[in-house]
Amino acid sequence: MFKQVKQKIENFKANRDMVIMCQLGKPLQLFQQLRYALIFKTTHWCWNNCAHCCESSGSHMPKTFIPESVIKGYIDQAVNDKQFCREIVFTGGEITSSYKFADRNYMLNIINYALNKKCTVDIKTNAGWVNSPLSETVFSDLENIVRGQSNKNDKSNIKSIIHFQVSLSLDRFHKDATDRDFKFIEHFANMNISDVAFEIHVSSIYQDKNMFPDLMHKLARSGIEISELTMIGSKTNNIEQVYDLNGNVIVRYSNGILFNGGRAKDIEYARQTPFPQFSFVDTDGVSLMAFDSFGNVTLGENSGKKISVLWRDKETKQPLSLQTVRDNLAVATKSAEQEFLMQHRIIDVYYRPIIKMMRKMKTI
């Protein structure tokens, strides 16, 4: 009993700031005032069933995708909105499974459409396809995207050059992750392009941070010339290292905390995300709107409870306008604030007499 109440006291301390923020309506204000990025979780299907997947994606999930027309429609609406930061992420599940279960040109079309709208694009893949019959086709399509960007870029400023990024996972949960990432990075490091137009982001969890040096040593042993550009530290113990490989590709590395969403709830060192429904702002001060293939739009991508609404009409199944979706998310955010405050009051009323008693007994 005492142990349980002590934990509640810690929760009270952690909740204090969030209570004030919700009382002031700050989460809603943040959502309405901040610029936003679009995330399209194109499918929940994946050929991996990783134990740490916060989305619980896998081969048991439906082989369905957000329609290409829906994605293009939301991009069209977003680029006319001053609050849109022109950053788009295409992810899953595994987006490259579209080559098996959707239109052969699905991934190529949505990436090029976003890039042609002058948006920065990031696609997330586990690279499980590099040893499959799909590899030649996927590599060819990605090469065409990279070459197209190289021809369009302003070569006077490296920051304006990189509009296209592929994010890879490097951890113990993806089988043969080092080998997969090596084959992917080696391919583009040896690709003959005139200027850097492509960035690869390799990410891992803190427990697997030693895997990246092994990957870089393997690339160096293969004859790739590697130049370190910079190293960035942060208060959250995340690090970022940036490398130039053969002058053809930028590789960026980061590692962070594993959160206990989805199947990761069963992993001992996975951390709980405090107030996940209000954690929808990234480190650059941009709010995240994530569309998924089940018809939902969620604020942020953190584990735990989320603020979510539908992107399609319940009756007609037609996509709602982007403005309607944002209006509905604002209503849902306000409801989440009120629900949080109510839950906190209930907990406070129930436990405060016990806490007072324990203080008198000097047990806390």
pLDDT recorded at residue 352: 56
The proportion of the chain whose per-residue pLDDT surpasses 70, expressed as a percent, equals 82
**Mean pLDDT value across residues 174-184:** 95
- Better pLDDT: 4 or 288: 288
- Better pLDDT: 152 or 157: 152
The proportion of the chain whose per-residue pLDDT surpasses 90, expressed as a percent, equals 59
pLDDT recorded at residue 169: 94
Question: Confidence class of residue 95 from pLDDT cuts 50, 70 and 90?
Answer: very high
Which amino acid does the sequence have at 52?
Answer: H
**Whether residue 155 has pLDDT greater than 60:** no
Question: Confidence class of residue 157 from pLDDT cuts 50, 70 and 90?
Answer: very low
* Tens digit of each residue's pLDDT (9 = 90 or more) over 20-67: 889 889 999 999 999 999 999 999 999 889 988 888 899 999 999 999
* Tens digit of each residue's pLDDT (9 = 90 or more) over 100-139: 999 899 999 999 999 999 999 999 999 999 999 999 999 9
CATH assignment of 35-322, given 1.10.3470, 3.30.70, 3.20.20, 2.40.50? Answer: 3.20.20
Question: Confidence class of residue 258 from pLDDT cuts 50, 70 and 90?
Answer: confident
Question: Confidence class of residue 266 from pLDDT cuts 50, 70 and 90?
Answer: confident
Question: Confidence class of residue 8 from pLDDT cuts 50, 70 and 90?
Answer: low
**Mean pLDDT value across residues 162-175:** 91
pLDDT recorded at residue 235: 47
Residue spans of the domains in the chain: they are 35-322
Q: What are the residues facing 200 on neighbouring strands? A: 166, 251
Q: Find, among 271, 249, 248, 247, the residue nearest to 261 by Cα.
A: 271
CA dihedral of residues 41, 77, 312, 115 (deg, nearest 10)? -20
Helix (H, G, I), strand (E, B) or coil at 331: helix
pLDDT recorded at residue 239: 65
* Tens digit of each residue's pLDDT (9 = 90 or more) over 290-326: 999 999 999 987 656 789 999 999 999 999 999 999 9
Rounded to whole angstroms, the Cα distance separating 47 from 63 reads 11
pLDDT recorded at residue 159: 40
Rounded to whole angstroms, the Cα distance separating 108 from 101 reads 14
**Whether residue 195 has pLDDT greater than 90:** no
H or E segment to which residue 10 belongs: helix 2-23
Question: Confidence class of residue 233 from pLDDT cuts 50, 70 and 90?
Answer: low
- Better pLDDT: 308 or 4: 308
Of 170-174, 343-347, 352-356, the least confident: 352-356
**Whether residue 329 has pLDDT greater than 90:** yes
* Sequence-distant (≥ 6) Cβ neighbours of residue 235 within 8 angstroms: none
Cα-based distances in Å from 4 to 160, 266, 272, 361, 364: 53, 21, 17, 16, 12
